[in-house]
Each structure stands twice: as structure tokens, then as C-alpha cells.
Amino acid sequence: MKASSWTLIHKARNSSMGNIRWVFENTLRAWNEMRRAQQELMRRQEKQIHQGLETNRNVVEVKEVVLKTEEGIVEIGEGINSIKDLFDMQCRRYEIGRAQDERRHQDQLTAVRREISTLMVEREHLRSCTPAPGPSMITHIPPAPVTEWYINPQELWRLLNISSLDIEDMQFIEERRERFPSKDRARAEQVVRTHQFNNWIIAPTSTKLLVHSDFGGTQYVSPLSLFCSTLSQHLQRKENFISLVFFCGRHVEKRDGASFGGTAMVKSLIAQLLLCQQHLDTRHIHYEVSLNEVQSGDLNALCSFFICLLRRLPKAVTVFCLIDGIGYYERDETRAGMLQALECVLRATFDKSVPAVVKVLATSVSSTHKVRGYFHKDEILSMVAMARGGGAPSGQRLERHLSGGINHMGHQEHT
């Protein structure tokens, strides 16, 4: 009995050890599986984290590409604007060159006509020196016509002995367009939005306007000079409009025997008027003004000559006189002549003997002292009070504003 009991006890003990070993092995196996599962989960999490970091890097790269694309679009837009400005400048140069060619052709034509006139005078002189014909010939020779001495606009222009200052000056200013800061050019273009300028340009009667800017400096040409050049070229393309322009800053001192100051101003305005009105009736004008004094550059005679020419214009014509940089002539050596010339030009705005509408625009880079006395308070536009906008200059926008004002003026004239 004892032996069998011991055997049973021994078997039970072995069976218990086996169970414990089985449990231990299963537990160890389960723990290993859990560890492997945990490691797999950790690898997946690391992979997801890595993928998230990669996605963030991709997002950053996409943002950088978008920013670079936007910068490229801005650069392309600026490039397009630059091309447009360059195209506009080339168009203006072409127009100026064409005007120079036309004037050169007219000069040649005038020279030929003058030569013909000289030959005709010599022929008449020879006829007058020829002995009288015999009685048998009298019935066969018609009486010589009575001719009156006459000088046409082309010959009057040659009498002035002045070059085409307006074309030369506008070309000089256009070539320096990009040297003016864009913000200053944009401010100058804002003048067309003011009520003073709109009242000046659309009024159906003669008017005057003085513009004071704050550009300053001693460069003698300013963004306002560019504005006047653009305005003059725009007006020249309109029917029944005559645009006369003078840039004082380009003629502040005597050089190479050329005129300056008030004399240069009036001579240039007269020359432009004669060249654009070549069919003007200038008969008997030598009875109204001394052409010898005009040729010698006498300012009194030149002012009288200018008014005489304006009186010969038809009523349907509108004359624009643009005087840029007039403040430069308030210095001692040019003040007296400038004021006399200004009085002459402004006289045309109220002279009842001038049938045409005359509009005078004077500009200065700073506030004037003597000139402002010739304008009423509501006829003075100060750019200092204008808002300083951050827009960019636009020649096309300026052209649209000018066209709108001029069309409105034409509508008022018809109504």
C-alpha cells in the first residue's frame, strides 16, 4: 500500500509539474506574441509618424512652389506693363519722328515756293523794265494784273528763325520717362481727376488754370512736364484742336545764340501756330505789326503778332496753350519777359476780337509768387493737398480720362 501510494503521489507531482510547465510555456508564448504585436504596432506608428513628417515636408514644398509661382506671376505682370510702357514710348517716338519728317517736308516745300515767288518777282521786274511796245503791238498785249504783296504762314515761320522746340523738348522728356519715380508719375496723372482740371478742360469758353506741385528739385523737367507732353500729343490728334506747348525748364538760359525766357516762349508758340495752320489767311498782317521787329525778336512785336494770328482763327477752333515749369522764369533775369509773355497769352482768353476758344494751362514744380497773381483762387490747383495714392502710372488710363473730358467738352459745345 505504501508503495502504491507513493507511486500515485509521484505521478500526481509529475502531472502537476507538467501542468505548471505547460502554463508557463503558454504564458511565455503569449507574452512573446504580445511583444511582437507591440513591436509591430510601434513600427507602424513610427512609419505613420515618418509619413506624417514627409507629408508636412511636401506641404511646405507645395507652399514654397505656390509662393514662387505667385512671385513669377507678379514679375510677368510687371514685365507686361513694362512692355506696354515701352510700346507706348515707341509709338510716341514714332509720332514725334513723323511730325519732324512732315515739318522737314514742309520746310523744303516752303523753300521751293519761296524760290518760285522770287523768280516771279524777278520776272515782273524784267517786264516792267522792258520798253513799251509799238502801236501795232498794243492791241495784242493784255494789261499786266495788279498784284499785292503777300507773305504766307510758311514764310512767316522762316522769318522767326526758330527750330521746332516743342518736338525737341517732348522727345527729350519722353526719353527720360523711366527716370521719374513711378509714384511721382502716378501723382501727376491724378491731376486729370481733380474738379479744377475737369472744369478747365470741359468748359466751352476760354479758361485758365495754374498747377502747383511739390516735386521740387532743380532738374528743370518733372513728372508734370511728362504730363504736359502726353496731354499735348493727345490734343494734337483731335479735330479742331490746336495744342501749343512750351517747356520753360528747357530754356532757362541763353545757349548758342538761341532765345530764352519770355521771348523764346512767344516765338515758339507762334512757330507752332504757323506750322499747324498753314492755310491761315495772313494777308495785310504786315499792316498790323512790324515784321522787321518780329524778325529781330522784339518781345512787344512778338506779342502783337501772336494776338494777330489768333484773331485769324475760325470760331470752331479751340487753342490749348500749355506752359510747363513757369516757376523757373520767376528769377531776376527772366521774370520781366516771362510776365509780359504770360500777360499776352492770358489776354487771348478774354480778348473779344479772338473768335477761337483759348485755354491756358501753366504748371510749376513749386508754389509761384508773381505768376499766381494772374489767376483767381479757384483757378489754382495745389497738388500738395492731393492724396498720395500708391497706384502705378498708366498711360492708357490717362488717355481714357483725357478722352472722356474732351468728349464731354465737345458735347457741351454742340448743345
Q: Is the pLDDT of residue 80 over 60?
A: yes
**Residues 219, 221: Cα–Cα separation, whole Å:** 5
Strand partners, 245: 322
Q: What are phi and psi of 322, to 5 degrees?
A: -105, 115
pLDDT of residue 414: 47
**Residues 145, 25: Cα–Cα separation, whole Å:** 147
User: pLDDT-derived band of residue 368, with 50, 70 and 90 as boundaries?
Assistant: very high
Q: What is the DSSP letter of 22?
A: H
Q: How confident is the prediction for the chain on average, in pLDDT?
A: 80
Q: Is the pLDDT of residue 410 over 80?
A: no
pLDDT of residue 283: 87
Range ranked top by mean pLDDT from 37-51, 144-158, 288-302: 288-302
* pLDDT over 70, % of the chain: 69
Give which of 247, 296, 291, 288 is closest to 269, Cα–Cα: 247
Instruction: For the beta carbon of residue 366, count every other beta carbon within 10 angstroms.
Output: 16
Write the pLDDT tens digit of every residue in 203-226. Answer: 999 999 999 998 865 578 999 999
Alpha helices for 237-331 (secondary structure H): 261-276, 285-288, 291-296, 299-311
Q: Is the pLDDT of residue 183 over 80?
A: yes
Write the pLDDT tens digit of every residue in 84-124. Answer: 666 666 666 667 767 666 666 666 655 555 555 445 444 44
